[in-house]
Structure 1
Amino acid sequence: MKELLVKHLVKRYQQKIAVNDLSLTIKGGQFVAFLGPNGAGKSTTINMLTGMAQPTSGEIKMDGLAPTNQKYRQKLGVVFQNSVLDDDLSVIDNLKIRAGMYRNVSDSWFNELIYEFQLNDILKQKYGTLSGGQRRRVDIARALLNQPEVLFLDEPSTGLDIQTRQLIWQVLGKLRTKNAMTMILTTHYLEEAQSAEMVYVIDHGELVVADTIDNLEKGILGGKLTLFTKDINTLKQYLKDKTIEVTNVGIIIQNITSKEVIDILVANQNIIDDFEYQRVNLNDVFLQLTGNEVRK
């Protein structure tokens, strides 16, 4: 895949707008994350990008192909929130049946997925008897059988223990590098988005911001700087163009970048006794962009 283009995407359900004028560009080989509260429109967007749902309006193109095109769909692997495998069949039978739906699934690739996701011990078990973590490992192996150019992961690790989540991400990272695979993730675990090359924050069906993790944490919102000084008046004069909070021991500045911090410290090193700088993390970014309200 060279790139996935989304232009002015809209999805309406009667009077409700689930996705509203969404535009973005995903380059081949990228790992991107869609973040947003419950009901923000993440899964609806994934459903349209995978051809599972038709947009009300707008355009989706991957290398010039639309989701209705069979060649488009052949490029995809999808890990749904809910499994699509047969509870009454064994793991190995489920995987073999799915492999039979694609052309040229080699034995070596099939066996590599079994090995990497540590499925050997459960191959003969019925899928319906597996634990949540075991089921999810099988689900992801199933989605990778056709060696997709683009892997969609719709909240793939919700409810999983940390050991299973670590294994899944270690394997996905390894296979993504090996196959130059594009990965598109929706998640509620913000730490899973830390290694994404691009983050799209979606709220109320609209794109709130699109940027790298580094820029979000260090550039757009900045951090919190506390300056300790006995010469508050001189420091206040220097910072007259900034919004500050004066305490009895110093000055607090919110939403300040690392570069600004360095400039302030260098320029006022003779009167600053000490300082604390707290960088914004992805949780802070998420809450500032989408608010603290609990979504139902």
Structure 2
Amino acid sequence: MVDEKRSAPRVAVIGTGAIGGAVVRRLLDGGHEVTVWNRTESRTTELVAAGARRARSVREALSTAALALLTLKDYPAVQQCLAEQDTDLSGRTIVGMYTGTASEARLAAQQATALGAQYLDAGIQAAPETIGTNAATILYSGSRHAFERHRPTLALLSSPRFVGEAPEAAAVWDLALFGVWYDAQLGLLRALEAARAAGIDVVEFARTAAAQLGHVVATVPATVAELRQNTYPPGPANLTEHLTVLRHLIDLRTGRHLGDGGLPQVAARIETLVEEGRGGDGLTATAG
């Protein structure tokens, strides 16, 4: 077991790339003792000169600290790192700080807990240069106890946000948020592509597109309320009316560079709901 009182100030950072390096420097500035390890040892030289201690192995790094931040490039690197450990890590918290999938987060949590450690998965919504500033947000999920225990240290890096006890919650939140941007941006590009192909002035069209996107943003609270309450008022149109428009859109997007955006699957979902007698519901019902 780790002596929490004695070792709590020490943090291990595994992987000293752009994010890892920024994390180490911020922790050092915050008064923490930091042990670092990187597969390419030379990449730790500047950090050691700044006050970090270099470990000869991941095992040695993990043995020195109650909190270990795995700032590695992806899940396979995390998996390999944890698979090489054969010691009891009871009393330690491992944080996976990489962009991954929900299944990867669950597997990393299983590996860490099998070694006796508590696990937190982190979704990093920050660039290296913003680490330690109000512009950085890092999402955490997994062990709430571990999050609360290490919150003061994590708060040195960003505005820490605990988003759920399921290990994959941070990864899902992070990716779903990216999805909002991609869906909106690609939807705009599909619309501009179709408008330009029809000889429409895209500058004039874009003004109306911006207003349309504004309607989506404005209705976010109402949409969330509908999902939480399982009530789906029709709003400007019901599912039967939406289905007609979607079929026209599918036809408009056929053969375009950016595809149809998955509208056939949405139309199929609406057709099923209409067959079930729910044609009078609003569009939110498709996610209900």
TM-score, normalising length: structure 1: 0.32
Q: Name the structure where strand makes up a greater proportion of residues.
A: 1
Q: Name the structure where helix makes up a greater proportion of residues.
A: 2
TM-score, normalising length: structure 2: 0.33
